[in-house]
Amino acid sequence: MDGIDGERGLRLYDTLRGLVVPFEPAGKPVKVYACGITPYDSTHLGHAFTYVMIDVLLRWLRRRGHELRYVQNLTDIDDSILRAARERDEDWRELGLRWTVRYVEDMQILNVLAPDLFPRATEAIPEIVASVERLLADGCAYEREGNVYFSVAAFSGYGRLSKLPREEMAEVSARRGADPNDPRKRDPLDFLLWQRQGEDEPGWSSPWGSGRPGWHIECSTMAGRDLDGSVDLHAGGADLAYPHHESEIAQAECAGGSAPFARHWFHAAMVRHEGEKISKSLGNLVMVRDLLEKVSPDGLRLELLDHHYRSSWQFSADSLARSEDLAGKLRSAVSEHERSDLGTEPWDPEPDRCAFARALDDDLQTPRAVAVLSDLADRMLLASRGGRRLSGAGDLMRDLGGRVLGLRLTQPGPDEEVTRIWVGHRARFT
Ligand SMILES: [Zn+2]
């Protein structure tokens, strides 16, 4: 690849090993699974950070010549959807579809590439039931009164991903809606694979009676089904490591299941606002739509990219305004350079291209990659003020800033590819 150091390759932190390691997929294509949203509310800044970081990682893998098969799911049946539907007296399916369409629009506005497959949990019920049956047959699960629980005692590796002590796991899972004191559980950390239908709740038939799947079994089932049993890169927000991803590993690998379920775990850190993690339950949400009334999609993307994906950070309106200024500078550099009255100055793009590649290969250091482009824009503007154009600098900016970092620069609206694939997915929801 032009000017990109192919010897060293991408090195990326893997949550399971707790180390920055070479990214080594098992084969071609690279099989990617990202946990998608539970559609019951608007896209907030935390979602935007997670999906923009995944987007840049996947754009960089593509730029490095990898072919991808990318699945992102929708958790379209969940306690939070049913609760929101009850509060609004709205059909839970309609509520889920409404917020899914909104999410798809937000991803398009942010120029985030769409997954190849966008499966819904409610469309995978027969496969989920089959997964639960296999876990029961293998002695990894047990049934009580129409509920089926995963038995953590059957999987010695439980806790290996999150590295949390048992007491902390119990606290976190309780905060996420599990009930460690459920008397039907053999162990407080056992989790629901299948949940008996409650009053006024939807249900699907199963060998254990009418009910619905647990959250974790949906993802390990859909990942296994759509990616042929194993995943090269499993991605999501850091708050999913436990219990969600920990439990996905247990389900997939218990009793002779295929191991490793995922070769590489990628987690985007939490965004904080007013001192706390941004979350609906804490009431401190910063919505993407509200921010986009004040800044451009490029400005918001640059603000997200100015933070390394593994560092939790605090939202600041001042910092966002500076990112919007930077978006304006990059745009000016590109459009100034396209003025027809400028003379051409021979210029070597390789040092910038290499510095940019080294930054992303070094555990996706997007702040350093953004700094390379900011510095390049300064030099372009200086040259154009002197009546000169650095030959090839505009193309380099469009290539690295546009194709890799997903900025639109002087182009209106999202990439054609972004629109085409999301619109195709969206057609299934309207
Ligand atoms: Zn998931």
Which residue positions in the chain have pLDDT lower than 70?
1-7, 257
pLDDT at residue 6, rounded to an integer: 47
Q: How many degrees, rounded to 5, is the angle at CA 253 between CA 248 and CA 258?
A: 115
- CA 241–ligand 1 middle distance (angstroms): 10
pLDDT at residue 278, rounded to an integer: 83
pLDDT at residue 1, rounded to an integer: 42
Task: Report yes or no: 214 and 135 within 8 Å, Cβ to Cβ.
Answer: no
Q: Is residue 378 part of a domain?
A: yes
Q: Is residue 56 part of a domain?
A: no
- Number of domains within the chain: 1
Grouping H, G, I as helix, E, B as strand and the rest as coil, residue 204 is strand
pLDDT at residue 331, rounded to an integer: 98
- CA 287–ligand 1 middle distance (angstroms): 22
pLDDT at residue 38, rounded to an integer: 93
Q: Is residue 74 part of a domain?
A: no
- CA 124–ligand 1 middle distance (angstroms): 14
- CA 216–ligand 1 middle distance (angstroms): 6
pLDDT at residue 5, rounded to an integer: 46
pLDDT at residue 275, rounded to an integer: 85
pLDDT at residue 255, rounded to an integer: 74
pTM of the model: 0.96
Q: Is residue 226 part of a domain?
A: no
Q: Is residue 397 part of a domain?
A: yes
CATH code (residue 365): 1.20.120.640
- CA 421–ligand 1 middle distance (angstroms): 21
Q: Is residue 408 part of a domain?
A: yes
Task: Report yes or no: 332 and 381 within 8 Å, Cβ to Cβ.
Answer: yes
pLDDT tens for 201-247 read 999 999 999 999 999 999 999 999 999 989 999 999 999 999 999 99
Grouping H, G, I as helix, E, B as strand and the rest as coil, residue 79 is helix
pLDDT at residue 115, rounded to an integer: 98
pLDDT at residue 283, rounded to an integer: 81
Give the Å distances, CA to CA, from 291 to 298, 301, 315, 317, 388: 12, 11, 11, 9, 36
Q: Is residue 381 part of a domain?
A: yes
Domain that residue 325 falls in: 316-418
Task: Report yes or no: 34 and 69 within 8 Å, Cβ to Cβ.
Answer: no
Q: Is residue 392 part of a domain?
A: yes
- CA 138–ligand 1 middle distance (angstroms): 23
